[in-house]
Chain A
Amino acid sequence: MKKVIYLFVFMVGFLGVSLFSSSSYGANTIKIGIVDTYSGPPATMSQDVLDGFKMVVNEINAKGGILGKKIEFVTRDEKFKPDVGLAMAKELVLKENVDILMGTISSSTALAVSDFARKEKIPFLVTNSRTEKITGEKGHRYVFGIAENTAMAGRAAAFALSKKPFMKYWIAGDDYEYGHSIAENVWNNLKALKPGVQLMEQTWWKVGESDFTPYITQIMSAKPDFLIAATGGATMVTFAKAAKATGLVARIPIYQHTVIDYGVLGPLGADGPEGVYGTAPYLFYYPETPANKAYVNEFRKTYGRYPQMFALFGYSAGRLIEKGFQKAGAVDKEKFINALEGLVIDSPVGKLQMRACDHQLQLPMMFGVVKKSPKFKDFLVASDIVMVPSKDYMPTCEEVLKTRKN
């Protein structure tokens, strides 16, 4: 009998505490709800977003907040699963009553949550998922894209690749929203610029695949000229390791979006995939402008490491929230959205504008090749960097709006 009493007390205690656990901060804060993946391989990237965001939030709160209110944020781990992410988003909006939703590295989750945000009429800032559908086909008033999207990256990459001599291509990647999106965008743009290119075959593996050897050996035996690797947050680093171990990198030139980001090259250390082409919207060592240097130094001082491109997204989100509410003059969701459209913020890479027509932040794009660095001994860097300003490669408003079915 006693054991049962313990059991009951345990359970009732749990349920009781949980039911009364909703944070009851008053109307004196601006509450941000962040859904992201904080476990498993993508965690370092999501953490980077959060750190960049926190830097701005701390600065704002130290100055007294926005419109006299401090910023408060809560995070939820979706474990890279869209069903968990959606449930977390619902909890944040319906129970925690957040003012703004932010997140997530998983493109599948981002789309599901975007849908929900539209129904609930709550602004959703997509910080690190990059499928173009977010501001393109499935775009709407309540969603904003901060990270560069696959349409942008695809164009930039295709532009660079069209100048190279490769003709027979192979596409391989993660079998989910982001993987398909980046591959399609690179390929369609490349084909438009250079009609002679040939797609040999496609290989798609499951998200979070840990053993690439059978896929890589299959690709190598087919001997394509070039491989477009559409890998996302969960598989970037593992794939790079496998590519090096199997000798894929030495044999076949590869392009991977975001491979030149410090978030990928840092953990790989000396094992980085030399010779691989990549694009990314931010590099902490280039360009060496005063603004960038100051940002990097502050980040290093606070967190003890260099920022990846993800920190820039978190940082931008923070600035957008700051300037957006200031311009809106009130903590009102609709006014906030109106204020964001066309808003320009300062950043380590210069002034960035949130494009009004499709709610996409206009970032510059860097294209480079992975090489050893004379300056940094512990990891590889991008070299032969070409920086392309956003207006030169972003799809136009017309093109984007045409994809929406509104």
Chain B
Amino acid sequence: MTREYTVEDNGIIWYEENGVRVSFMADPANSDYQRYLNPEAEQSTPLGVE
């Protein structure tokens, strides 16, 4: 699912998903900001068992 991000004038970025608003600063150390920059970076397929 693609998230819709809003960027405020003060630089804060936020999205809302399942009734939860997540807002964050543009900080490279922030994992929410990393996902904003590169939403495809994380994998989500469990290993199960190799």
Partners in one complex: no
Seen from chain A, the residues whose Cβ lies within 8 Å of a Cβ on chain B are none
Seen from chain B, the residues whose Cβ lies within 8 Å of a Cβ on chain A are none
